[in-house]
Structure 1
Amino acid sequence: MGDRLDFIQKAVHQIYKTIGDVVSISSVYQTPAWGFNSRDFYNICIAVQTNISGIEVLDILLEIENVLGRKRTDSNNGYEARTIDLDIIFSSEGVITTKKLILPHPAMQDRKFVLEPLAEIAGDVVHPKLKETVKKILETTSDNSKIIKLNDTIIFPKDTYSLSRFQYLTIEGNIGAGKTSLAKLIAKEFNAKLILERFADNPFLPKFYEDMERYAFPLEMSFLADRYQRLQEDIAQFDLFKDFVVSDYDVFKSLIFAKVTLQSDEFMLYKKVFDLMYKNLAKPGLYVYLYQNTERLLQNIKKRGRDYEQKIPAEYLDKINKGYLQFIKSQSEFNVKVVDVSEIDFIENRSDFVSIIEKIAQ
């Protein structure tokens, strides 16, 4: 019913936002109505990477159908025209037999409108019960419906965000804000090269949290030297005009932390060294700052359980947050996006993750 392509595209976008990454999309196939008289249907198959169960996926699909205006009635023994119809055909969970969900879909082998697009993206997948590939099942199906492959295409949802146009994307944030987790998720989703800060071996870090005044200068100098060296080495591996690179830090964070932790005379000396190093480094195409309130930061720090971080005072985190925000305001030449993640969980909630992607892409 309605604009068939538009409903399919909207459904694919909703699946991407709520279930997982859409990794394959078949061509669009026009097929006659199956089991009743109606206008021809449009059908596609997609493959989705997700970490939620088939039962959970089914509930989300039913909700997407509702959002897109599907009205279920008892007419035509269950067969009728509709705005959208979403079914699970296969799952990596294998065979599922419950009142709510049966997988593989029990009627797939008898429906060419399923098999044709499915064979395009999963032709070599073996049906766990029939013990035959999808291609073979398509060849032997009893359904002789006329299938027309259309020239129309459905767009991959993540292609609409075009994050690779930034070439070099930096995710920054306070201690425990989730910058490393977000950088990893983006790199995986958008096939980006990943640069992560390596700080676990810094011998001054545990000492600093025990006695900040004494160990601040050697800590900040060692961080600066290490960040500069590693960024130079890591970025040199890539062609920033061809590769999409995501990092979970920028060397400028050294200056922000140093301003909070160092005495004024120490900071002046530190900044001279910093300025010499910084001018030689590639600058990110977009600098994303994850803002998270101090209460959530402390919860995250406690949750990840690094012993040497458990004594970090809230006042220190407040100062770091203020330092970042002052830096962002002062850098007019930087392309900066501030994203407040205080009330969301982009690791556990797919829609929260996609909402961040949307904000970055704006």
Structure 2
Amino acid sequence: MHIARTTYLSLGSNLGNKFENLQKAVDLIAAKIGAIVKISSVYKTASWGFESDDFYNICIQVSTSLNPENLLAEIHKIEHSIGRKRDSKKAYKARIIDIDILLFENEIIFSKELIVPHKEMLHRKFVMIPLAEIAPNLIHPIEKQQLQICSVNCTDEGKIENTYLKLKRPINLSEKYNYIAIEGNIGAGKTTLTNMIAEDFNAKIILERFADNPFLPKFYEDNERYAFPLEMSFLADRYQQLSDDLAQFDLFKNFIVSDYYIFKSLIFAQVTLQKEEYFLYRKMFDIMYKEISKPDLYIYLYQETPRLIENIKKRGRDFEQNISPEYLDKIHKGYSTFIKTEENLNTLIIDVTNKDFVTNAEDYKAVIELIKNVN
């Protein structure tokens, strides 16, 4: 589990579309550093220490799992991506974006690359006034005074004006969803993605207990004989697990993420059961389905069948090695039919055939952005 820690950042811009530059920086911070908890108003101030156009300045509160050194590295990458060109000169100058670390928890850091609390923050109105707006009662770790008092005591005589412009705060997953269900065909990566999201966003995790099912290895050896007891046992176990886990709210977790949804049972039953068995199974399923909470977001990870076969072979479960492409294609069709007909579910289909969200950080971030941006 990643430990989320609070940092406060100062952002400024005085080149180009200053408001747009700040919004772009805030969006990138949310995507690459952590959840944006608070954003101050946008303040207009004269350039500090040199002659140039006025700055737009803000302060933000961020919850991040990065340590201070990695946080600074990510900030430099964000500045560079927006267009800032750093050089070795220390002189003040106009810039498209400037991001400074003001505070990191209550830590005091003195290193070659980073000093926290920021050594000049108490002497700058364009920092202290927006910072005091979003964290007035926070104690400065060295001054041992509230930031609102530090702001009043700031000796900077420069003019500062509240523009009353408001940037859009990116919404975090935990604010948008209470329960996310992730599904996909065998080998699509649903459990891996579920684990990654739970780790990064402090979510309660519900994982399917397929390894405990004694009928599963037998089913792959003799489909017709063991299909019905397999599907009934899965249905009973999924119903019990989801009923119990969704009913128990965890105060220390932000939301719930699972690697299956109860309707999975019906999709697989359609593929594996004989007609008479399926009718009986469907009666039991319909009774249970009414009682299960629906997810706020249902995600289907789509992967083409050849890629699924590769993944299945790579993870090396003995009882899965003889799964046929035809069987996987039938499951694809079952999910496709379900998604088209289940209109009451908020559904997101993500094609991950050419994505490697496990080892490629950019692919993982792209998947998270898709989840965040669902309407």
Q: What secondary structure is seen at the aligned counterpart in 2 of 1:157?
A: coil
RMSD across aligned C-alpha pairs, in angstroms?
4.0
Aligned equivalent of 1:220, options 206, 211, 231: 231
1:329 aligns with 2:336: yes
Q: Which runs of 5+ in 1 are unaligned?
A: 239-243, 303-309
Distance (whole Å) between structure 2 residues aligned to residue 7 and residue 255 of structure 1: 49
Could you tell me the TM-score, scaled by structure 2's length? 0.73
Distance (Å, rounded) in 1 between the aligned partners of 2:23 and 2:232 = 52
Supply the distance in 2 between the matched residues of 1:296 and 1:103 (Cα, whole angstroms): 46
Q: Report the secondary structure of 1:44's partner residue.
A: strand
Partner of 1:196: 206
Give the Cα separation in 2 of the matches to 1:122 and 1:94. 16
Letter in 2 for 1:115: M
Displacement of 1:23 in angstroms is 1.5
Identity between Structure 1 and Structure 2 (%): 43
Alignment match, 1:127: 140
Task: Select the residue among 49, 63, 66 that pairs with 1:35.
Answer: 49
Could you tell me which of 207, 217, 221 is aligned with 1:209?
A: 217
Cα deviation for residue 56 of structure 1 reads 1.9
| Mapping of residues 226-305 of structure 1, within 5 Å | 226-228=237-239, 248-262=259-273, 266-275=277-286, 277-278=288-289, 286-291=297-302, 293-294=307-308, 295-296=310-311
Task: Tell me which residue corresponds to 2:8.
Answer: none
Q: Is the 8 A contact 2:267 2:334 kept in 1?
A: yes
Amino acid at match of 1:26: S
C-alpha contact (below 8 Å) 2:215/2:229 kept by paired residues = no
Q: What residue number does 1:313 align with?
A: 320
Where does 1:71-220 land on structure 2 (aligned, <5 Å)?
71-72=85-86, 78-92=91-105, 94-158=107-171, 170-174=181-185, 177=188, 179=190, 182=193, 196=206, 199=209, 205-206=213-214, 208-209=216-217, 212=220, 213=222, 216-220=227-231
Q: Tell me how far 1:228 sits from its aligned partner.
A: 3.9
Report what 2:11 is aligned to.
none
Matched, 1:52 2:66: yes
Determine if contact 1:58/1:88 at 8 Å carries over to the other structure.
Answer: yes
1:323-351 Cα deviation digits (max 9, x unpaired): 44212332322354321345556578765
Q: Which amino acid aligns with 1:83?
A: I
| Cα distance in structure 1, aligned partners of 2:324 and 2:142 | 56
Question: The residue matched to 1:8 in structure 2 has which SS?
Answer: helix
Cα distance change on mapping 1:121 and 1:319 into 2, 3 Å? farther
CA deviations over 1:28-50 (Å, ceiling 9, x no partner): 12222110122221111112222
Deviations 1:200-247 (A, max 9, x none): 8x96x1453366546543332132234345656777899xxxxx9865
| Cα separation, 2, equivalents of 1:344 and 1:66 | 26
- CA distance in 1 between counterparts of 2:92 and 2:50 reads 6
Q: State the partner residue of 2:3.
A: none
Whole-Å separation in 1 of the counterparts to 2:169 and 2:120: 27
Of 176-185 and 255-264, the range deviating more from structure 2: 176-185
Do the aligned partners of residues 333 and 162 (structure 1) sit closer, same or farther apart at CA in structure 2, a change above 3 Å counting?
farther
